[in-house]
Amino acid sequence: MSAPRTPAAAAAPATGARLPAYLLVKQHVLAQIHAGVWKEGDAIPGEEALAREFGVSRMTVNRAIRELSDEKTVERVQGSGTYVAQQKYQSTLVSIRNIAEEIAARGHTHRSELQRLERTRASDLLARQFELPAGHALFHSVVVHFENGQPIQVEDRHVNPRVAPGYMEQDFASQTPNAYLMRVAPLQGVQFAIEACLPPPEIAEMLRMPPQEPCLVLRRQTHSQGQVASVAAMWHPAARYQFTGSF
Is residue 143 within 8 A of residue 113, CB to CB? The reply is: yes
Top mean pLDDT of 24-33, 105-114, 152-161, 236-245 is at 152-161
Q: For the chain, which domains are there?
A: 7-84 (1.10.10.10), 99-237 (3.40.1410.10)
Per-residue burial over 165-184, b if 16 or more Cβ lie within 10 Å, else e, is: eebeebebeeebbbebbbee
Q: How far apart are CA 99 and CA 152, in angstroms?
A: 10
**What percentage of the chain reaches a pLDDT higher than 70?**
86
- pLDDT at res. 247: 41
Closest CA to 32 of 162, 150, 148, 196: 196
**pLDDT average, residue stretch 56-61:** 94
The pLDDT tens digits of the residues spanning 105-152 come to 888 899 999 999 999 999 999 999 999 999 999 999 999 999 999 999
The pLDDT tens digits of the residues spanning 158-213 come to 999 999 999 999 999 889 999 999 889 888 888 888 889 999 999 999 999 998 89
Signed CA dihedral, 115, 119, 123, 129: sign only: positive
- pLDDT at res. 58: 94
